Structure 1
Amino acid sequence: MIPATYQSVEGYQCLDDLFDPEINRKALQNALQQATKDNVEGPGRDVVQSAQPFGKMLLETLREIAGFCGQHDLHLICDEIFAMSVYDNPEVPDAVPFTSVLALNLDDNINPQKVHVAYGMGKDFCAAGFRLGVLHSRNEGLITAVSTISVLGWVPYIVQDIWANMLTDDGFRVDFMSKNRKLLTEHSAILTAFLQEHEIPYYSKVNAGVFAWVNLQRYLYDKSEVSATDLFRSNDKFYRDREMTLWNRLLASGVGLGLGSWYSAEEPGWFRVSFAVEKEALRIGLERLIKTLREVKAEGWK
């Protein structure tokens, strides 16, 4: 897999640009050019763009990515596992409703045989234990290959029946999604209020998913170091190590966050904070988080 990076793209300034069609085209083009330069060729080559940590996607951006894939004979694989895990965010009054790539007419952008969608019930149905996933594709060769492999890990029929009953029970499904949206809205508000109270930066323009993308960069450098951004870019490994140290410190204090590097964050210091837990657990976790961050800040980096 070849990651498409953004910070070196001309015109890129902030996280909002990750959803800009032109910025995406440039990032993908740069990645493909680098792959060609490195002699990475063949049907197994994938250029990867992921906005997964943010919980936001714009249809025009998706069309641009599809067009790029079609132009360069690449496959487009869309992960829609958070499709219905949406909530109300006052900072996104003009939120775009979820629309599956399967509902878009992309025939002028890309060969339909090269559009594939992955889904699962772990997120939207709050049932990670079922480990049940879906691949939708019109590519018969791909479906045959995947079906052959999946025989070795066949989903039990009782699990298939449970999910089939959930999907066909319109009353249950609508009620469940409505309750889920309400809870996500409430818990997201609890987390963002906490972050605002303690002046911890985070990406606010989202309305989907079960987490927030939080910036803890100021806890990676000493008070004597003035600007974090320039230092990170000039000494990435040094601060990646500090990021891991901070993550381990938080974990030892009973706080489990998602490390930014796990989600291809280009700058160290970004973490994914989940709010999809019981309110009491969320409250305790946030108390532990701020207590540990205060200790780290007071001690400084020696």
Structure 2
Amino acid sequence: RHELHVIVDEIYMLSVFDESATFHSVLGMDRLPDPQRTHVMWGISKDFAVSGIRFGTLYTENQDVANAVASLCYFHGVCGPVQHKVAQLLRDRGESVAPYWINQVYLRANHARLKAAHTYVTDELKTLGVPFLNRNAGFFVWIDFRKYLRTGTFEEEMLLWRRFLDNKVLLSCGKAFECSEPGWFRIIFADKTHRLQLGMQRIRKVLEEREQEILAEEKEQPCQSEQDGKADSTDEVIFVSRHQEPTCASSSNLGDLIGLLQQQMRSSDWLQKNTAEQFA
């Protein structure tokens, strides 16, 4: 209706590690809603773990788009040695059923390792009681660290990110991905087991320290005591009864009393209702 172009990035199409899930390419559809405005991208950086080899493909039936992209190849084309190596890789000189090595050897081993790494990381998160979004493809887990933020702000998210970094753990914070809610982080699990174990130990250490800090701050807040007295029929009156019993020992000192009064004043609209002009 709006004549929008749809760009589908299938960069993880060979990285589905759960046997119960099957990848379905948009090119496998019987009919595209608008073939001239549907473009599909894929590259070898994720599925073949060669992010340093800058090689990607674009499938489009739109000749204008193809010509526009081709005009950029003079400055951004794939060099000859890389083209040769990728061609050798995809040619797959294996058994009679091609591509044998890719399907029967590499992808099977890669999927098994991804699944094992994903299982380890998610089990650790469950032990820590940390919510996360569980997916059966790709290399990362989207983690909910909102309960470890003192306030629900992106500034607090950056402080937590810095705490991880100080403990030699590099996570990606949600703000880097334009997440609308602070507290979400991305952890990549596509690594060897001993590195994942060390990383999760450091994450556990940061979260436990953070949790203790938040609990300590909550205990330091002055406890609230119940208020006695009566209010006027038309106005809300702020007061502290001399006969009330404190709910904790610290509420009897002057500092807690002042804090209690300040809190009541902030939560009351008495000053807004009763201006100086009314009493003139």
- For normalisation by structure 1, the TM-score amounts to 0.66
Tell me, what secondary structure is at the counterpart of 2:52?
A: helix
Instruction: Please list every run of at least 4 consecutive aligned residues from structure 1 whose deviation after the TM superposition is greater than 3 angstroms.
Output: none
Give the deviation of 1:145 after TM superposition.
1.0
Greater shift after overlay, 285-294 or 163-172? 163-172
1:210 aligns with 139
What CA distance in whole angstroms lies between the structure 2 residues aligned with 1:114 and 1:262? 29
2:211 aligns with 297
1:221 aligns with 150
Q: Deviations over 1:139-178 (max 9, x none)?
A: 1111111111131022111111111121121122111111
2:202 to 277, 288, 298: 288
Greater shift after overlay, 141-150 or 268-277? 141-150
Contact 1:119 1:135 in 2 (8 A): yes
Q: How does 1:128-147 map to 2 (within 5 A)?
A: 128-147=51-70
Give the deviation of 1:111 after TM superposition.
1.7
1:199 to 129, 142, 145: 129
Give the deviation of 1:88 after TM superposition.
2.0
What CA distance in whole angstroms lies between the structure 2 residues aligned with 1:187 and 1:134? 29
1:76 aligns with 6
What CA distance in whole angstroms lies between the structure 2 residues aligned with 1:193 and 1:149? 46
Q: Is residue 104 of structure 1 aligned with residue 29 of structure 2?
A: yes
What CA distance in whole angstroms lies between the structure 1 residues aligned with 2:127 and 2:62? 50
Give the deviation of 1:262 after TM superposition.
2.1
What CA distance in whole angstroms lies between the structure 2 residues aligned with 1:292 and 1:131? 36
What CA distance in whole angstroms lies between the structure 2 residues aligned with 1:252 and 1:148? 45
1:124 aligns with 47
Q: Deviations over 1:55-100 (max 9, x none)?
A: xxxxxxxxxxxxxxxx3211110110000101127xxx5x3x1111
Give the deviation of 1:131 after TM superposition.
1.6
Q: Is residue 171 of structure 1 aligned with residue 85 of structure 2?
A: no
Aligned residues with identical type, % of pairs: 34
AA of the residue aligned to 2:149: L
Give the deviation of 1:106 after TM superposition.
3.3
What CA distance in whole angstroms lies between the structure 1 residues aligned with 2:161 and 2:40? 33
Q: How does 1:46-61 map to 2 (within 5 A)?
A: none
1:86 to 13, 16, 27: 16
Aligned pair count? 209
Give the deviation of 1:103 after TM superposition.
1.2
Tell me, what secondary structure is at the counterpart of 1:128?
A: coil
What CA distance in whole angstroms lies between the structure 2 residues aligned with 1:172 and 1:128? 20
What CA distance in whole angstroms lies between the structure 1 residues aligned with 2:149 and 2:56? 38
Q: Deviations over 1:186-226 (max 9, x none)?
A: 0001001100111111012x11001111100011027xxxx
- For normalisation by structure 2, the TM-score amounts to 0.71
Q: Is residue 190 of structure 1 aligned with residue 115 of structure 2?
A: no
Contact 1:166 1:172 in 2 (8 A): no
Give the deviation of 1:105 after TM superposition.
2.5
What CA distance in whole angstroms lies between the structure 2 residues aligned with 1:141 and 1:201? 46
Give the deviation of 1:300 after TM superposition.
2.8
Q: Which fold has the larger relative contact order, with Cα–Cα distance below 8 Å and residues 6 or more apart in sequence?
A: 1
Give the deviation of 1:294 after TM superposition.
1.3
Q: Is residue 274 of structure 1 aligned with residue 185 of structure 2?
A: no
1:256 aligns with 170
